[in-house]
Amino acid sequence: MPTERTLVLLKPDAVARRLAGPILTRFEQKGLRIAALKLIQVTPELAKRHYAEHVQKPFYPMLESFITAGPTVALVLEGKSAISVVRGMMGPTNGRDAAPGTIRGDYGTSRQMNLVHGSDGPEAAAKEIAIYFQPHEVVDATEPLAPWLSAGD
């Protein structure tokens, strides 16, 4: 089980609906460590870099309007298999398909306004962390309680 870092966004709908705290709490309660955190305004240029693989898709203009519509919380979470753990906690893209107990399943019914982004693999995580954070903004820490959060492996 590798320790991984993943890029997470609490999207403008999460911030506007005052759900940034509750969503962040879920990740912390799971045992993931916050390695970086800031509130940002995503610009159209930043949106195009992040969502490069979607820029040509019909829904991209709506996605760009949404992701630039208000402040976003950007963070790096760290932990054992953090990438897949976060994806599992988010649920599938469309809130209507997402099971209760997942973030998207509990808080939304939209495919677009789905509250949260999490990198979908190690390559994407490295690319996305570099898009949103300077290396010095990602903080290393050794935590004395780490063994209690992922005992057994």
Residue ranges of the annotated binding site are 11, 59, 87, 93, 104, 114
Smallest distance, ligand IDP to C-beta of residue 140, A: 27
Binding site members for ATP: 11, 59, 87, 93, 104, 114
Stretch that binds ligand IDP, among 38-46, 108-116, 133-141, 143-151 (CB under 6 A): 108-116
Is there a catalytic annotation at residue 54? no
> Is residue 120 a contact point for ligand IDP (CB under 6 A)?
yes
Strand partners, 8: 75, 118
> Is residue 62 a contact point for ligand IDP (CB under 6 A)?
yes
Q: What is the 3-state secondary structure (H, E, C) of the chain?
A: CCEEEEEEEECHHHHHCCCHHHHHHHHHHHCCEEEEEEEECCCHHHHHHHCHHHCCCCCHHHHHHHHCCCCEEEEEEEEECHHHHHHHHHCCCCCCCCCECEHHHHHCCCCCCCCEEECCCHHHHHHHHHHHCCHHHCCCCCCCCHHHHCCCC
Smallest distance, ligand IDP to C-beta of residue 138, A: 22
> Is residue 59 a contact point for ligand IDP (CB under 6 A)?
yes
> Is residue 49 a contact point for ligand IDP (CB under 6 A)?
no
> Is residue 81 a contact point for ligand IDP (CB under 6 A)?
no
Choosing from 50, 54, 117, 136, the catalytic residue is 117
**Antiparallel, parallel or unpaired: β 116-118 and 72-80:** unpaired
Q: Please report, as ranges, the residues that interact with ligand IDP according to CB under 6 A.
A: 54, 59, 62-63, 93, 111-112, 114, 117, 120
Query: Which active-site residues does the annotation give?
Result: 117
